[in-house]
Structure 1
Amino acid sequence: MNADRHLMAKRRLAARTSSCEEVGAVAWKPYTPEEARAVREANLEQMESQLTRRVDELVTGDQWLEAMRFAAQFRGRSFLNTLLIQVQHLNAYSEGRVPTPYPSYVAGRSDWRKLGRWPAKEQTGYLVRKPVVERYAATNPASGRWRKLGSREKPRPGETVREKMVNVTYGKVWDVSQTDGEPVPERPRPAVLVGAAPAGLWDGLAAEVGQQGFTLRNAPNVLALDGADGVTDYTTRETIIRADAEDAERVAVLAHEVGHILMHDPEAEGREPHRGIREVEAESAAAMVCAIYGLDSGPSSVPYVAGWASTVKDVEPAEVIRRTGERVRRIVLKLLDRLPEPVGGDGSPPPPSPTNEAPQTRTCAQQSRPAARPTLAETEAVRL
């Protein structure tokens, strides 16, 4: 039923567009309210269906860590949106629409336009979640009395404004391989390091340990740590790492322990009460940090997702997965602000050069495809 609705909406869209070759210019007829609603509902259903399937696929620890590493490379987007991009790009690859199973740069239509590129006519963008927010203003926030602002209403002098997410809609993004136009400059890529650690990463993580009020020291081997590679003691405020491992492994272990410190300190608010999930969060944070810096973290593992995700009372495992991924992503993003600058980007295309700005407009003769109608199905994605 959902597939039929989506197909009908696409046919309506196709029937209402005229190509440049046919009429010499691009023309659209406005959607009727019924058509707009049909397109919106069909795309939302398709997006949520894809997301649900992808979450259900995360049944093993290996799949979970792979999803977290993918999220590390596209960390500018929410965890759920990285899942959506990953599954839709793999589908496009299996259908022969993109050349590689892994996307490189992903952006919305307006960002590609700034770089002088446009989605290819035969390419369908990837659906991503887009927040619907409302603005509220208050003279005294402590009073709890907030008034809703209109879409273009400005706050009064002295008022505090806050945004509240009230719903989710969708936008579209495209991988660079789905676009045509001006060449895109390549970002430098981090070298994959095996055994060696990225320059400055150990020092940055060690400084974070001290910043959080813990003392970092070494243990001679795993026997001194009862078989563990690293330990964080919240009572003595110590983090201890085995000294007899290679630099890369020691950095990965330290990243794991920093994850514990930032997320699981008993004195901190919002501590995850389930020990199994705490271990998953710490290992996921380490996997993201290592992926961002091109570090081969070795045979890291987490328990089966079906096991740890079912330990939270009265919460569906799928919801636990969604929350955990986003919580880890946010913590890692904050941590990155205090670590050495990563070599690679966050999955977004490099900005245009100020000395060689990309063209902003094209004539009809230059267009190889009809321009997109700037409504609904082609809405620019806001990162959520």
Structure 2
Amino acid sequence: MHVTRSSTTEREAKLDAVHEQLVAAVGALTTDADWRRALEFASRFTSRSFSNTMLIYVQHAAAFEAGTVPEPVPTYVAGYRQWQSLGRQVRRGQHGYVIVAPVTQRLVATNPATGPWRRLEPGERAASGETQRSRLVGVRPATVFDVSQTDGDPLPEPPMPQLLVGQAPDGLWDGLAQQVAERGFQVERVPDAVTIGGANGLTDYRARSVFVRDDMDDAARVKTLAHELGHVMLHGPDNPDAVQHRGIAEVEAESVALMVGAAHGLDTSTYTVPYVTTWASSVEGKTPVDVVIETADRVRKAAVTILDRLDTVQVGNGEPPGLRTATRQPPAAPVASQRVPARSGADL
């Protein structure tokens, strides 16, 4: 496909505008409560990067203030054609939310260890004996829409966590403990905080042990175990960032626990996450906004890894139920007079 200079300039201008919006959104996170709310929101949209969840959040909030969507928080977001595949149509006059999508190249090689790697042309398939991989070559602006901006077939209702105060979801402790064990650590329950120096939990990297105090309710125990699993995954002695910036370890571990808890419907209002900007400004060579985004992406990656391996009832990842198995053929593209683009958000 031929790309003109004007279309490239338009794309770059849109990406610049999206970046400015992202910087403003992250810069507005000025307290630990702001950080907690951002992570709680991200826990409901784990299929998206942290940057894209922030972009969706601020654009949906603006749409709510303008009166074009009925609720202040989005529920499910998807691209234009993805909604069509589910039998739903973006309503005339609705503006989608611009996010950033990856642009990749498909490469093949007969010997992946030595190369050379050859780029596949559009529609071309790897030949017999060739190994294929994808390489990120850039980003592009893309558009998604909330379900409240669409009409059509009803979506299936997925099961949702139903918890009492202090209760932990069925199977969550065992699932977290299994992941701790798979990383070579042993989980030990101790009688009280005095045993481990006044803490709720403790990770001993030398002894390869994770300790959790037993005199707490179920919800507090699984929250603490998720916190310590975050330490196991992110903060071993070989992690130079955790050593150089002492605040990073507790921020990230508690943030992982918060996302895991929020994804299971647990009350996270009491989670004590020290806001990341208390140390972000001290990282040389990076702006505080860059550090916040990088931290959030590390947290998200760890939390998603944990959540994907749990056999528990969770709140969902922001994708419309049934999207990945949808087989419905999309109807014709909208007429030119509509404000919604015909190909926005495809294949996100």
Please, what TM-score do these two structures have when normalized by structure 1?
A: 0.81
Give the letter for the 1:275 counterpart. R
| Partner of residue 100, structure 2 | 129
1:206 aligns to 2:174 (yes or no): no
| Partner of residue 26, structure 1 | none
Cα pair 1:106 1:174 within 8 Å, conserved: yes
Residues 318-350 of structure 1, C-alpha deviations (whole Å, 9 max, x = no match): 111111111221222222233223243211111
Cα pair 2:89 2:150 within 8 Å, conserved: yes
- Of 87, 91, 97, 2:58 maps to 87
SS of the aligned residue for 2:27 comes to helix
1:161 aligns to 2:132 (yes or no): yes
Instruction: Structure 1: give runs of 5+ residues left out of the alignment.
Output: 1-30
| Partner of residue 48, structure 1 | 19
Structure-to-structure mapping, 1:38-117, within 5 angstroms: 39-117=10-88
Give the letter for the 1:321 counterpart. V
Residues 157-211 of structure 1, C-alpha deviations (whole Å, 9 max, x = no match): 3222221111111111100111122222332322354211111111111222222
CA distance in 2, matches of 1:264, 1:177: 40
Q: Which is greater in Rg?
A: 1
Give the percent of matched residue pairs that are identical in Structure 1 and Structure 2: 43
| Partner of residue 235, structure 1 | 206
CA distance in 1, matches of 2:295, 2:104: 23
CA distance in 1, matches of 2:333, 2:268: 50
- Of 328, 338, 348, 2:319 maps to 348
| Partner of residue 149, structure 1 | 120
- Of 264, 273, 296, 1:325 maps to 296
| Partner of residue 264, structure 2 | 293
Give the letter for the 1:361 counterpart. P
Cα pair 2:212 2:224 within 8 Å, conserved: yes
Cα pair 1:72 1:288 within 8 Å, conserved: yes
CA distance in 2, matches of 1:32, 1:243: 62
Residues 21-48 of structure 1, C-alpha deviations (whole Å, 9 max, x = no match): xxxxxxxxxx994663454244223211
| Partner of residue 3, structure 1 | none
CA distance in 1, matches of 2:323, 2:8: 36
CA distance in 2, matches of 1:45, 1:90: 21
CA distance in 2, matches of 1:125, 1:186: 24
| Partner of residue 276, structure 1 | 247
> Structure 1's 204 and 372: CA in aligned 2 closer, same or farther, altered over 3 A?
same
Cα pair 1:231 1:257 within 8 Å, conserved: yes
- Of 321, 342, 348, 1:374 maps to 342
Cα pair 2:77 2:144 within 8 Å, conserved: yes
1:223 aligns to 2:189 (yes or no): no
The alpha carbon displacement at 1:357 in A equals 7.4
> Structure 1's 86 and 372: CA in aligned 2 closer, same or farther, altered over 3 A?
closer
CA distance in 2, matches of 1:64, 1:236: 33
SS of the aligned residue for 1:187 comes to coil
SS of the aligned residue for 2:266 comes to coil
Cα pair 2:231 2:253 within 8 Å, conserved: yes
Cα pair 1:51 1:80 within 8 Å, conserved: yes
SS of the aligned residue for 2:179 comes to helix
Structure-to-structure mapping, 1:241-280, within 5 angstroms: 241-266=212-237, 272-273=242-243, 274-280=245-251
Please, what TM-score do these two structures have when normalized by structure 2?
A: 0.89
- Of 331, 339, 344, 1:361 maps to 331
RMSD: 2.8
Instruction: Structure 2: give runs of 5+ residues left out of the alignment.
Output: none
SS of the aligned residue for 1:245 comes to coil
The alpha carbon displacement at 1:311 in A equals 3.5
> Structure 1's 352 and 230: CA in aligned 2 closer, same or farther, altered over 3 A?
closer
CA distance in 1, matches of 2:295, 2:134: 23
Residues 208-227 of structure 1, C-alpha deviations (whole Å, 9 max, x = no match): 22222222122222222222
Cα pair 1:192 1:296 within 8 Å, conserved: no
CA distance in 1, matches of 2:3, 2:115: 40
| Partner of residue 17, structure 1 | none
CA distance in 2, matches of 1:371, 1:50: 21
| Partner of residue 23, structure 1 | none
The alpha carbon displacement at 1:381 in A equals 5.6
The alpha carbon displacement at 1:363 in A equals 11
Give the letter for the 2:346 counterpart. E
> Structure 1's 62 and 372: CA in aligned 2 closer, same or farther, altered over 3 A?
closer
> Structure 1's 270 and 107: CA in aligned 2 closer, same or farther, altered over 3 A?
farther
SS of the aligned residue for 2:143 comes to strand
